[in-house]
Amino acid sequence: MKSVVIIPARYGSTRFPGKPMANIKGLSLLNRVWRIAKAANNVDEVYIATDDKRIFDHAQSFGAKAVMTSESCPNGSFRVMEAVDELKIKPELVINLQGDAVLTPPWIIEAVISELKNNKDVKIATPAVRLSKDSKAGGTLVVFDLKKDALYFSRARIPFNRDKDASSEGLYRHIGIYGYKLEALRQYVSLKPTPLEEAEKLEQLRALENGMKIRVVEVEYKGRSHWAVDRPEDVNIVEDIINKEGELF
């Protein structure tokens, strides 16, 4: 199966305008995410999908393949679908790697691809990491059934365990990477917004509310730290982590 990683990148972030081009230890955020995707095994091609000529030109300046998309895409998955439609050869597997995933190890991308390739019934896959007792339960959490198909994603603390203390042990933090078989991605973008999606502001709930299954792939960071770049002050935090733990590519 031909697998591609597509990195959606917008210039107009409300909290951090121009974020994809922010400098992190001599390389732009976008360049770093592209290098992580290129370092993953079983990836045939990596593309950057953007609606901004500045990002398009920047991507090409460091050798990335870039695709222009419309400004009207409501979320990253729609931008990824637009980019796929521009490709001459259509891939069977599509990975939506967020443009701020600067500390996501390549082996997490590999795990998502492996799940899709090795399970014919899995149409959408996304990773999650099990939190330790002392971890902070921030970000988006996920709960899943015995087959590891997602039951719900929430910014709230789920599940709530009445019989234990408020530690994070047994909770799973969702990592915002989505892998699709092409027909599932096309089905997803045909759907209208749903009530839970709009309440939580989590695009993956649109799939669940329409009965589409999402396989949760449990992964490990293997001692690496997790952090996303949402605001300018996150740049210094990420640089400190890279200084301590080394590069991922």
DSSP output for the chain: --EEEEEEE-S--SSSTTGGG-EETTEEHHHHHHHHHHHSTT--EEEEEES-HHHHHHHHHTT-EEEE--TT-SSHHHHHHHHHHH-SS--SEEEEE-TT-TT--HHHHHHHHHHHHH-TT--EEEEEEEPPTTS---S-EEEE-TT-BEEEEESS--S--TTS-S--TT-EEE-SEEEEEHHHHHHHHTSPP-HHHHHHT-THHHHHHTT---EEEEE--TTPPP----STTHHHHHHHHHHHH----
Residue at 249 is within a domain? no
Residue 246 in domain: no
Let me know if residue 245 belongs to a domain. no
What's the CA angle centered on 13, arms 10 and 16, to 5 degrees?
125
pLDDT for res 42: 96
Domains held by the chain: number: 1
Structural domain boundaries enclosing 171 = 3-238
Q: Is residue 157 part of a domain?
A: yes
Pairing of strands 172-174, 3-9: unpaired
Assigned domain for 9 exists: yes
Report residues of the chain scoring pLDDT below 50.
none
What is the pLDDT at residue 168?
Answer: 78
pLDDT value of residue 169: 78
pTM of the model: 0.94
Residues 166-186: tens digit of each pLDDT:
677 789 999 999 999 999 999
pLDDT of residue 203: 94
What crossing angle do the helices spanning 106-118 and 29-39 adopt, rounded to 10°?
50
Over the range 4-27, which residues count as b (16 or more CB within 10 Å of their CB) and which as e?
bbbbbbbbebeebebbbbbebeeb
Predicted pLDDT of residue 160:
84
Residue 75 confidence (pLDDT)? 87
Amino acid at site 235: V
Which amino acid is it at 212? Answer: M
Give the CATH number, domain containing residue 50. 3.90.550.10
Residue 124 CA to residue 96 CA, distance in Å, equals: 11
| Burial classification of residue 45, based on how many CB atoms lie within 10 Å of its CB (0-12 exposed, 13-18 middle, 19 or more buried) | middle
Domain membership of residue 23 (yes or no) is yes
204 located within any domain: yes
Return the pLDDT at 242: 97
Under 8 Å CB-to-CB from 163, ≥6 apart: which residues? none
Residue 243 domain-assigned (yes or no)? no
